[in-house]
A and B are shown apart, each in its own frame.
Chain A
């Protein structure tokens, strides 16, 4: 969808048009799901996150700055919410020693569509294996920069980190993953 069209839809949505906002949801839903899945590594949690992200976006639509792209703003909400979720899951795991809700559901879901569930479970396994011990910041920066292929400038806007912080987080993430690969081979 073109930027002008998106801006038009946002203006209508700001006036309370839910149908127009539904069009924005349809447009940006794959993007949000993709990032949420890569960060949370769980199909159902990613779906919940999609819902939460768009509800928050709807509630905070007045705060959206049209100078930035809508996708950047949506990325920002998604990344922040996923980071919060990862932090709380980590805290829960550390304090109780019981695996958090994030990983509890991983084997239950997705028996309907076998092909998609296979792809998702393989992807989840791969990401979890190589990024398990990364901090939420390191994981977010790694996913946004190396996997999603975003520019540092855009990552700055999304995460609120400086270029230096992004660089150091990315360096640590890459180092950890490389070490993990080396340990296998």
Chain B
């Protein structure tokens, strides 16, 4: 037998002393390094994609959160502005009316206000009558038109 004179101690000693020989260790190192470089490049690319995806999702989340808030804020601002405008318009109208009356008549006296209103109404009706008269004269000159028809 090949291992006839061997003992446990001899076997262990032999196995410990004789190491297996690695051919072309530098080639193996190169292979390992190349594999690692490939993995590292893949990881870098993956990390870049993840970073971009993160940025995009962050931006989308911001938009999702900000748009409703912006809309709410803007609609309330519009409502506020509308209210303010209507208030200012009505107050401006009122102011103009009062100012006009104040300018034309003596406001301090209630009798003069009453007189002013009456005279204003009278003035308007006079104007209307004058217009009607002019129209009736003009229409009487058109053949086939009667004053009665016009008045109706």
- Chain A facing B: main interface SS: helix
Set of chain A residues within 8 Å of B22, measured between Cβ atoms: 29-30, 33, 47, 116
A55 at the interface (CB under 8 A from B): yes
- In the complex, 22 of the A-B residue pairs with CB atoms within 8 angstroms, ordered by the A residue number, are A18-B40, A19-B33, A22-B36, A25-B32, A26-B25, A33-B20, A33-B28, A51-B31, A55-B35, A112-B23, A116-B21, A116-B22, A119-B21, A126-B14, A146-B12, A146-B15, A146-B16, A147-B12, A149-B16, A181-B3, A181-B7, A185-B4
Interface members, chain B 98-115 (any A CB < 8 Å):
none
Q: Which of B7, B15, B19, B32 touches A54 (beta carbons < 8 Å)? A: B32
B121 at the interface (CB under 8 A from A): no
Complex Cα gap A29–B15 (Å): 19
B18 at the interface (CB under 8 A from A): yes
Complex Cα gap A4–B44 (Å): 29
Interface members, chain A 77-96 (any B CB < 8 Å):
none
- Chain B facing A: main interface SS: helix
Complex Cα gap A59–B38 (Å): 12
Given contacts A123-B18, A147-B15, A181-B6, contact A50 B28 (CB under 8 A): yes
Q: A interface vs B, CB < 8 Å?
A: 16, 18-19, 21-22, 25-26, 29-30, 33-34, 37-38, 43, 46-47, 50-51, 54-55, 58-59, 110, 112-113, 115-116, 119-120, 122-124, 126-127, 129-130, 146-149, 174, 177-178, 181, 184-185
Complex Cα gap A30–B33 (Å): 16
Other 16 A-B pairs with CB < 8 A, given A29-B28, A55-B32: A25-B29, A26-B25, A34-B19, A38-B20, A51-B28, A54-B36, A55-B36, A58-B36, A113-B23, A123-B15, A123-B20, A126-B14, A127-B15, A147-B15, A177-B8, A184-B4
Set of chain A residues within 8 Å of B3, measured between Cβ atoms: 126, 129, 181, 184
